[in-house]
Amino acid sequence: MAEQESLEFGKADFVLMDAVTMPEFMANLRLRFEKGRIYTFIGEVVVSMNPYKNLNIYGRDTIEQYRGRELYERPPHLFAIADAAYKAMKRRSKDTCIVISGESGAGKTEASKYIMQYIAAITNPGQRAEVERVKNILLKSNCVLEAFGNAKTNRNDNSSRFGKYMDINFDFKGDPIGGHINNYLLEKSRVIVQQPGERSFHSFYQLLQGGSEQLLRSLHLQKDASAYSYICPGAQLKCSINDGAEFKAVADAMKVIGFKQEEIQTVYKIVAAILHLGNLKFSVDGDTPIIENSKAVSVIADLLSTKAELVEKALLFRTVATGRDVIDKQHTEQEATYGRDAFAKAIYERLFCWIVTHINDVIEVKNYDTTVHGKNTVIGVLDIYGFEIFDNNSFEQFCINYCNEKLQQLFIQLVLKQEQEEYQREGIPWKHIDYFNNQVIVDLVEQQHKGIIAILDDACMNVGKVTDEMFLEALNNKLGKHAHFSSRKLCATDKTLEFDRDFRIKHYAGDVIYSVTGFIDKNKDTLFQDFKRLMYNSSNPVLKMMWPEGKLSITEVTKRPLTAATLFKNSMIALVDNLALKEPYYVRCIKPNDKKSPQLFDEERCRHQVEYLGLLENVRVRRAGFAYRQTYEKFLHRYKMISEFTWPNHDLPSDKDAVRKLIECHGFQHDVAYGKTKLFIRTPRTLFTLEELHAKMLVRIVLFLQKVWRGTLARLRYRRTKAALAIVRHYRRHKVRAYLREVVRRFQGVRLLPDRGRSIPWPAPPKVLRRFEEALQDIYHRWRAAELIRSVPPEALPQLRAKVAAMELLKGHRADIGLQRAWQGNYIALKPDSPQSSGSFTPVANELKRKDKYMNILFSCHVRKVNRFNKVEDRAIFITDRHLYKMDPMKQYKVMKTIPLYNGEARSARHGHQPGAVQPARQEMHRLCGDQDQPIPTGFHQAPLRLRPLRAGQLTAPPLAPGLGSPSPHLGLTGIHREMLSCDLSGA
User: Residue 209 above 80 pLDDT?
Assistant: yes
What's the distance, CA 367 to chain centroid? 19
Are 152 and 237 a contacting pair, CB within 8 Å? yes
**pLDDT mean over 105-128:** 86
Q: Binding site annotation covers 234?
A: no
Residue 109 annotated as catalytic: yes
* Residue 28, SS3 per DSSP: helix
Query: How much is the pTM?
Result: 0.65
Q: What does the pLDDT read at residue 311?
A: 92
At 241 the pLDDT is 87
pLDDT at 556: 66
Of 1-10, 65-74, 549-558, 867-876, which gets the smallest average pLDDT?
1-10
| Cα→Cα distances 100→29, 120, 847, Å | 19, 18, 127
- Residue-wise pLDDT for 615-635, tens only, equals 887 787 777 667 677 788 888
The pLDDT, as a whole number, for residue 833 is 57
Question: Which range, 11-20, 299-308, 817-826, has the best average confidence (pLDDT)?
Answer: 299-308
| Res. 987: pLDDT tops 90 | no
Q: Tell me if the bond preceding 176 is cis, omega within 30° of 0.
A: no
Predicted pLDDT of residue 558: 63
Q: Is 331:289 a contact under the CB 8 Å cutoff?
A: yes
Q: Tell me the three state secondary structure of residue 359.
A: helix
pLDDT at residue 351 is higher than 90 = yes
836 pLDDT above the threshold of 70? no
Kind of pairing between the strands at 678-681 and 39-42: unpaired
> Helix or strand or coil: residue 659?
helix
Q: How confident is the model at residue 949 (pLDDT cuts 50, 70, 90)?
A: very low
Average pLDDT, integer, range 653-667 = 83
Phi and psi at residue 386, to the nearest 5°: -90, 170
Long-range Cβ contact pairs of 628-635 (< 8 A, separation 24 or more): 628/680, 628/681, 628/684, 628/687, 629/422, 629/675, 629/678, 629/679, 629/680, 629/681, 630/678, 630/679, 631/677, 631/678, 631/679, 632/656, 632/658, 632/659, 632/677, 632/678, 632/679, 634/92, 635/659, 635/679
Q: Which of 159, 515, 538, 974 is catalytic?
A: 159
Q: Considering only 188-202, 207-221, 802-816, 922-936, which range has the smallest mean pLDDT?
A: 922-936
917 is in an annotated binding site: no
Confidence tier at 682 by pLDDT (50, 70, 90): confident
Q: Measured between alpha carbons, how far is 871 from 881 in angstroms, rounded to an integer?
A: 31
Q: Which residues of 286-315 are buried (b: 16+ CB within 10 A; e: fewer)?
A: eeebebeeeebbbbbbbbbbbbbebbbebb
d(CA 421, CA 622): 14
Asked if pLDDT for residue 973 goes beyond 50, the answer is no
The answer to whether residue 348 scores a pLDDT higher than 90 is: yes
Measure the CA dihedral 899/902/904/907, to 10°. Answer: -40
Predicted pLDDT at 102: 84
Backbone angles phi, psi at 961, to 5 degrees: -65, 155
Residue tagged active-site, from 28, 40, 104, 982: 104
| CA 354/CA 263 separation, integer angstroms | 11
Residue 107 assigned ligand-binding role: yes
Mind listing the pLDDT tens digit for each residue in 210-230? Answer: 999 999 999 999 999 999 999
Rounded Cα–Cα distance for residues 985 and 964 (Å): 7
Determine whether the annotation assigns residue 48 to a binding site: no
Each residue's pLDDT tens digit, 545-558: 999 888 877 666 56
Percentage of the chain beyond pLDDT 70 is 87
Q: Cβ atoms within 10 A of the Cβ of 147, count?
A: 26
Q: How many CA atoms lie within 13 A of 288 on its CB side?
A: 6
What confidence score (pLDDT) does residue 912 get? Answer: 40
Say how many Å lie between the first and final Cα of the chain, rounded.
106
Contact 130, 94 (CB under 8 A): no
For residue 375, pLDDT over 70 is answered with no
Mean pLDDT value across the chain: 82
- CA–CA gap between residue 648 and residue 636 (Å, rounded): 10
Q: Hey, CA dihedral for 740, 741, 746, 749, is it positive or negative?
A: positive
Contact status, residue 650 vs residue 632, Cβ threshold 8 Å: no
Grade residue 4 by pLDDT with cuts at 50, 70 and 90: low
Residue 156: active-site member: yes
In this prediction, residue 961 carries a pLDDT of: 37
Structure-model confidence comparison of residues 914 and 264, the more confident one = 264
For residue 968, name the pLDDT band (cuts at 50, 70, 90).
very low
Known active-site residue 159 = yes
What mean pLDDT do residues 129-145 have? 86
Measured distance CA(798)–CA(373) in Å, rounded:
86
Say yes or no to pLDDT of 958 above 70.
Answer: no
Ligand-binding site membership of 211 (annotated): no
965 — pLDDT class (breaks 50, 70, 90): very low
The three-state secondary structure class of 983 is coil
* Residue 341, pLDDT above cutoff 60: yes
Query: Using an 8 Å Cβ cutoff, are 217 and 197 in contact?
Result: no
Q: Is 108 annotated to bind ligand?
A: yes
**CA geometry: angle at 900 spanning 898 and 903, to 5°?**
145
Question: Would you call 538 a catalytic residue per the annotation?
Answer: no
Run of H or E residues at 98: strand 96-102
List the catalytic residue out of 156, 404, 523, 826.
Answer: 156
| 3 state DSSP class of 485 | strand
Express each pLDDT in 695-725 by its tens digit. 888 888 889 999 999 999 999 999 999 999 9
Q: Read off the pLDDT of each residue in 807-832 and give the average, rounded to a whole number.
A: 80
Asked if 97 and 583 touch (Cβ cutoff 8 Å), the reply is yes
Catalytic residue among 50, 96, 142, 160: 160
Distance, CA of 837 to CA of 874 (rounded, Å): 9
Catalytic site includes residue 451? no
- 739-796 pLDDT tens trace: 999 999 999 989 888 888 899 999 999 888 889 999 999 999 999 989 888 888 888 8
Q: What's the per-residue H, E or C state across 847-915?
A: HHHHHHCCCCEEEEEEEEEECCCCCEEEEEEEEECCEEEEEEHHHCCEEEEEEECCCCECCCCCCCCCC
774 is in an annotated binding site: no
Q: Is 104 a catalytic residue?
A: yes
Count of Cβ atoms closer than 10 Å to residue 705 Cβ: 10
| pLDDT: which is higher, 692 or 601 | 601
Residue 571 labelled as part of a binding site = no
Which position among 146, 187, 246, 388 bears the catalytic label? 388
Is the model's pLDDT at 147 over the cut of 50? yes
pLDDT of residue 851 exceeding 80, the answer is yes
Q: Rounded to the nearest 5°, which phi and psi values hold at 885?
A: -115, 140
Q: Which of 50, 96, 109, 646 is catalytic?
A: 109
- In this predicted structure, which of 575-579, 681-685, 890-894 has the lowest mean pLDDT? 681-685
Tell me: the pLDDT tens digits for 31-76?
Answer: 999 999 999 998 778 999 999 988 899 999 999 999 988 777 788 9
Stated length of the chain? 988
Q: Is the pLDDT of residue 917 over 80?
A: no
pLDDT tens track for 765-780: 988 888 999 999 999 9
